[in-house]
């Protein structure tokens, strides 16, 4: 049972435009290499220090207790470490 539906040309043009936009977004997604961008769960040390209100010396003294990842020259900290900080685990 094959059913064919004929759509108005204006609607077909809108669908074609949407498909082009989706294809463009997919290409941009493929261009982002996982080696260039960490997962969303990881934040930079600057973002951690800003969220917790700490200074660099605190991070340097407690980084062995934190879940960190080094990517190129940047150090990333897992987002859960902010929660652990406010729970008092680093005092």
Q: Residue 15, Cα to own-chain centre: how many angstroms?
A: 29
By mean pLDDT, which of 33-47, 51-65, 67-81 is the weakest?
Answer: 33-47
Based on the structure, what is the number of domains in the chain?
1
Q: Would you say residue 26 lies in a domain?
A: no
Q: What are the C-alpha distances in Å from 46 to residues 14, 36, 54, 76, 78?
A: 43, 18, 10, 9, 13
Q: What is residue 32's predicted lDDT score, i.e. its pLDDT?
A: 67
Q: Would you say residue 68 lies in a domain?
A: yes
pTM: 0.50
* Model confidence pLDDT, tens digit, residues 11-38: 888 888 999 999 898 888 777 655 555 4
What domain range includes position 64? 42-86
């Amino acid at each position: 049972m094959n059913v064919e539906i004929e759509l108005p040309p204006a609607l077909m043009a809108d669908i074609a435009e949407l498909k082009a936009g989706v294809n463009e977004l997919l290409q941009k997604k493929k261009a982002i290499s996982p080696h260039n961008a960490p997962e969303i769960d990881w934040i930079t040390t600057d973002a951690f220090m800003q969220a917790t209100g700490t200074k660099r010396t605190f991070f340097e003294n407690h980084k062995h207790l934190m879940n960190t990842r080094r990517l190129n020259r940047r150090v990333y900290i897992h987002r859960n470490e902010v929660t652990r900080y406010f729970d008092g685990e680093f005092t």
